[in-house]
């Protein structure tokens, strides 16, 4: 039965899609069967997986509006071993069409529940906003991974996201939890980074991943080639960081299972 992780932060440019693609690829390297769901109309996770968003026949939009089945939409990227539910600009229309729909907050959950037993992990790349698509992701998820830069405005945005997660937990998904806070584009030489880092540990404690993702040229280059960084340059600092994140995530899950908490 898959563990479902929503990669969420309403602030753009924090490494959310980079984390979604490279965490999916790194979990796959550990021999876990992974499904990546691109829930962002920009389709960056789709393109970063080597799938041309302009040429896909069907997208996650068709699943949300219930005109197609999972088997019609899922693709196997040529440059990655995980499965992908791709996205493109069509997804913009989904939010409008879902406004008056029955169970509109649970459309993604219904899709995920049908295929959970096929995967070990399902990773959802959320859009950079707190809209109906993000709500669908949080309702479908077991946990939320929050990528964030160690900067002042990131903390402000984190507060709004925590409020949303709390509201979803209270009304729609009582089992939702913060899986972890991931520090991205990390530069320990920056004084503000050090200050924000300290605040994160004071507030979230063990929820902050020990793994940090540094600024890395190879990590930034990989999406332009449509491949995860682990396939682009496995020895790069970016690839090593995401492999470490996958390992840390797996260890946490094993410890939680042993303690009867998962």
CATH numbers and ranges of domains, the chain: 3-258 (3.40.50.300)
> Which tops the pLDDT comparison, 166 or 160?
166
Paired tokens of 62: 């068709």
Q: What secondary structure, in 3-state letters, does 18-50 show?
A: HHHHHHHHHHHHCCCCEEEEECCCCCHHHHHCC
E strands, 72-207, are: 83-85, 121-125, 143-148, 177-186
CA distance 176 to 50: 31
| Amino acid 7: pLDDT | 97
Evaluated on CA atoms 165, 44, 181, 14, the torsion sign reads negative
Q: Tens of pLDDT along 122-134?
A: 999 999 888 899 9
CA distance 203 to 211: 17
* Residue matched to tokens 């929820």: 207
CA distance 6 to 134: 9
Element (H, E) at 100: none
Collapsing DSSP to helix, strand or coil, 65 comes out as coil
CA distance 148 to 261: 26
Among residues 42, 51, 37, the alpha carbon closest in space to that of 90 is found at: 42
Q: Using the predicted structure, report yes or no on whether residue 152 has a pLDDT greater than 80.
A: no
Predicted confidence band of residue 115 (pLDDT cuts 50, 70, 90) = very high
Residue-averaged pLDDT of the chain: 93
CA distance 78 to 59: 17
Strand partners, 38: 125
Phi, psi angles (nearest 5°) of residue 144:
-120, 125
> Which tops the pLDDT comparison, 19 or 1?
19
Q: Using the predicted structure, report yes or no on whether residue 48 has a pLDDT greater than 60.
A: yes
Other beta carbons less than 10 A from residue 60's beta carbon: 32
Q: Which of 49-58, 169-178, 253-262 has the lowest mean pLDDT?
A: 253-262
Predicted confidence band of residue 139 (pLDDT cuts 50, 70, 90) = very high
Q: Tens of pLDDT along 73-101?
A: 999 998 889 999 999 999 999 888 888 88
CA distance 178 to 157: 15
Phi, psi angles (nearest 5°) of residue 255:
-65, -40
Q: Tens of pLDDT along 206-227?
A: 999 999 999 999 999 999 999 9
Q: Which of 43-47, 62-66, 174-178, 200-204 has the lowest mean pLDDT?
A: 200-204
Q: Using the predicted structure, report yes or no on whether residue 47 has a pLDDT greater than 70.
A: yes
CA distance 38 to 89: 11
Predicted confidence band of residue 159 (pLDDT cuts 50, 70, 90) = confident
Q: Using the predicted structure, report yes or no on whether residue 262 has a pLDDT greater than 60.
A: no
């Amino acid at each position: 039965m898959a563990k479902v992780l929503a990669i969420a932060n309403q602030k753009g440019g924090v490494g959310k899609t980079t984390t979604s693609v490279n965490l999916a690829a790194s979990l796959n390297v550990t021999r876990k069967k992974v499904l990546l769901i691109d829930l962002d109309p920009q389709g960056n996770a789709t393109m970063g997986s080597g799938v041309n968003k302009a040429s896909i026949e069907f997208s996650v939009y068709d699943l949300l509006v219930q005109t197609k089945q999972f088997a019609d939409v899922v693709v196997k990227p040529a440059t990655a071993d995980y499965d992908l539910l791709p996205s493109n600009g069509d997804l913009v229309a989904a939010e409008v069409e879902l406004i008056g729909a029955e169970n509109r907050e649970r459309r993604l959950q219904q899709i995920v529940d049908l295929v959970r037993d096929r995967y070990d992990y399902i990773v959802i790349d959320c859009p950079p906003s707190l809209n109906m698509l993000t709500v669908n992701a949080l309702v479908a998820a077991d946990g939320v991974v929050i990528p964030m830069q160690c900067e002042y405005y990131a903390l402000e945005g984190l507060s709004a996201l925590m409020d949303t997660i709390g509201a979803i937990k209270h009304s729609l998904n009582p089992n939702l939890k913060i899986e972890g806070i991931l520090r991205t584009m990390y530069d320990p030489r920056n004084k503000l980074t050090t200050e924000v880092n300290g605040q994160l540990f004071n507030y979230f404690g063990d929820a902050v991943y020990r793994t940090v993702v540094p600024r890395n040229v190879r990590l930034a280059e990989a999406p332009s080639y449509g491949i995860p960084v682990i396939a682009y340059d496995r020895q790069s600092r970016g690839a090593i960081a995401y492999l470490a994140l996958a390992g840390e995530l797996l260890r946490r899950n094993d410890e939680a299972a042993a303690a009867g908490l998962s």
